Amino acid sequence: MALKKILIYPEEILKKKAKEIAKIDDSLKRLASDMAETMYAAPGIGLAAPQVGESKRLIVLDAPLGENKTTGLIKLLNPEIVEKSGEIEYEEGCLSLPELYENVTRFLNVLVKAVDLATERKIEIEAEGTFAIALQHEIDHINGVLFIDHLSPLKRKLAIKKFKRIIEERKKEVL
């Protein structure tokens, strides 16, 4: 396994819809394992293939379920939200927009259909709360959508301005 470089906004691939995965092979399994290692090292709770420069509909997650429980590592191919309900506002961040956090409104409950890479079978996942938010966030990534795209135009403009300042400060720290 190897750590992958996480691409930072405004990388072009982050704004493009990723390609459907038709075949499971060793290189895809290796990519998923590398993504998981990268996610944990970042640290994060989810990562999508476009964030590491791969236009593939692949996400990895290890999201909180509450009371110190997590989903455990899951690797999903071609995930899609098929049902959604409720609403929740949550402060989100993103490994591709490091150190930027904004309140985003998401669905409280989602039903996701996907292929589980571990079993290579189609599955359905009912998720709520933080797990549902993480699924929506990562599925957005494979659809070319960033969490800042859910903000009003003014808030998005201010968030991007803030992010640019964060990047400039990081550059100064390196020098």
The catalytically annotated residue of 54, 92, 102, 138 is 138
| Direct distance between the N- and C-terminal alpha carbons of the chain, in angstroms, rounded to an integer | 31
Whole-angstrom distance, CA of residue 171 vs CA of residue 161: 16
CA-atom Rg of the chain in angstroms:
16
Give the distance, in angstroms, between the CA of residue 168 and the centroid of all CA atoms in the same chain. Answer: 24
- Token output for 112: 């996701």
Whole-angstrom distance, CA of residue 121 vs CA of residue 115: 5
Query: Is 20 labeled as catalytic in the residue annotation?
Result: no
- Residues annotated catalytic, as ranges: 138
